[in-house]
Amino acid sequence: MSVRTWSLSARDNLNLYVFIGVVMLCGAIFGVMLVNALTFEQQQELADELGVYLSSAGDPLSLQSSEAFWSRFALYFKWMGLIWLLGLSVIGLPLVLALDFMKGMLIGFAVGLFVRQLEWEGVLVSLAAVAPQNAVVVPAFMIASVSASRFAYYIVRERLFRKKGKLLPPFLQHSAVAFVMLLLLGCAAAYEAYLSPMLLELVVPAAADVVVRL
């Protein structure tokens, strides 16, 4: 398998990217609907927790950026490791799609919660705390998922049906893709730990006022 046949470009894998994108979009829509399905008591509890989160985000003394970075990076490492491993297992490929759906759901739930509880200020909080890192995280997960899909397809086609084809080259290429995507996720974790709190400090006063009125 040459590097060319392992191309992960959108042009060569448009159907896969569109399919995975639709899965994530459906997850995001489901996440927003989940916010609307919460009971009044659950909404109040989340509003209280959101107020605590915004208060701590606006207090520079409460920020522990190093711990936040390693916490987020560990989460991304586990997530990317699962995508990589499920691609190797071949039969675990549907679970890769489940992870993509879950990621979309988490994004939709977070944005839906911010907007529902904070109104227009929630849009600012989402732009500061959700959108930037996910502009990196979502493409990284999509590329890793496409790589897992292609690896699984290669194993089924070349190893199971044709009984030929080398296993090491696609394995190394799939692993290299996962590693590069993990580096990108490290950048996203660094943003969440070091830059996002500073942006939140700018929007927290307005958002906190809305929380107080709830």
Mean pLDDT of each 10-residue bin along the chain, 214 residues long: 57 89 96 87 77 62 74 95 92 92 94 83 81 94 94 80 76 93 95 83 61 44
Task: Please state at what angle helix 196-213 crosses helix 120-129, rounded to 10 degrees.
Answer: 160
Predicted local confidence at residue 1, as pLDDT: 45
Separation of alpha carbons 46 and 192, rounded Å: 21
Predicted local confidence at residue 123, as pLDDT: 82
Does the CA dihedral 73-74-80-84 come out positive or negative?
Answer: positive
Separation of alpha carbons 94 and 86, rounded Å: 9
Predicted local confidence at residue 4, as pLDDT: 46
pTM, whole model, 2 decimals?
A: 0.85
Predicted local confidence at residue 120, as pLDDT: 75
Residue 61 is which amino acid? L
Predicted local confidence at residue 126, as pLDDT: 83
- With tokens 């399905």, the residue in question is 37
Nearest to 98 by CA among 26, 200, 199, 10: 26
